[in-house]
Amino acid sequence: MPSTEELTAALRSADLRVTRPRVAVLDAVHRNPHADTDGVLTQVRADLPAVSRQAVYDILAAFTSAGLIRRIQPAGTFARYEARVGDNHHHAVCRVCGAITDIDCATGEAPCLDGPLPDAFVVDEAEVIYWGTCARCRADADSPPQTSPRRPR
């Protein structure tokens, strides 16, 4: 996890004013990859209880615009935020529990999808979302119920 000094330097390098709420939001995104706004808000309020929900929304939007964080929103889910920017990776989303896992792109840093694109179209990002069931949810589905069997009357 980045130190407070590193978070502060990141804000300054993005030409953003350094405030306690901004440092707290950036720290929360680093500590909780793929957190939704409520998750970020909960973490921020642990240290700064007076921070409003709207302030967190505004800060997340500013950070996304500045390229400090990435906003992802798989279909049918809430927006989530991650600090892993500047590389080309994709996501695997569990349909049961909603867990999101980063998947490195097989071909490196460049977008790894080649398709029939219009002439002069330059791809700068390709997003792939793999949908399925994570190992934990598969194991839970395969295990017997955790309740005691009924006794005959």
Per-residue pLDDT averaged across 12-17, rounded? 97
* Domain definitions of the chain by residue range: 4-72, 86-142
5 pLDDT higher than 90? yes
Tokens of 22: 């901004």
DSSP class of residue 148?
P
Give the strand pairing for 70-72 and 80-82: antiparallel
Confidence of residue 77 (pLDDT cuts 50, 70, 90): confident
Helix (H, G, I), strand (E, B) or coil at 42: helix
Calculate mean pLDDT across residues 3-20: 98
In a 13 Å sphere around the CA of 147, the CA atoms on its Cβ side amount to 3
What pLDDT score was predicted for residue 123? 75
Pick the CATH number of 4-72 from 1.10.10.10, 3.40.50.2300, 3.90.550.10, 3.20.20.70: 1.10.10.10
Identical fold, 4-72 and 86-142: no
For residue 151, is pLDDT > 80?
no
Determine whether domain 86-142 maps to CATH 2.60.120.560.
Answer: no
Indicate the pTM of the whole model: 0.80
Contacts of 141 (CB under 8 A, 6+ apart): 96, 133
Phi, psi dihedrals of residue 54, rounded to the nearest 5°: -65, -40
Query: In the prediction, which pLDDT does 3 show?
Result: 96
